[in-house]
Amino acid sequence: MKASKLLVTFTALSMAFSAWALSLDSAKNQGLVGETASGYLAAVSSNAQVQALIDDVNAKRKAKYQQLAKKNGISLSQVEALAGKKAIEKTAKGHYVKVNGSWVKK
């Protein structure tokens, strides 16, 4: 039962990430933002436009994570951790991920 909840969560997360693909991909390609283990984006190099993108994407992610947590009967922190792991795994070569507090180019 729990495995099926995780599968549903991962599938939904994959769809959620693709919803912001164009502007998010552009920021990732430029090395401006990166994925974190918390399931949210953070600025590698920040300015007002980058921060606005991060705030927008992270707000949408959090809303989706809350929805998934409620639907699957798990905590928000569990969904965030799963999403962070999945996002880091899916991060393309050359994009940034935060590992142990430091930005690393994958």
d(CA 70, CA 32): 32
User: Model-level pTM?
Assistant: 0.77
**Per-residue model confidence as pLDDT tens digits over 13-28:** 554 554 443 478 899 9
Rounded CA-CA distance 45/60 in Å is 21
Segments forming the whole domain that contains residue 29:
2-105
> 53-98, pLDDT tens digit by residue?
999 999 999 999 999 999 999 999 999 999 999 999 999 999 999 9
% of the chain at pLDDT higher than 90:
73
Per-residue pLDDT tens over the stretch 85-96: 999 999 999 999
Q: How far apart are CA 45 and CA 56, in angstroms?
A: 17
Cα 76 from Cα 57, distance rounded (Å)? 17
Output phi, psi for 66, to 5 deg: -65, -40
Determine the pLDDT at residue 18.
44
Domain count across the chain: 1
Query: Which pair of tokens denotes residue 95?
Result: 């994009």
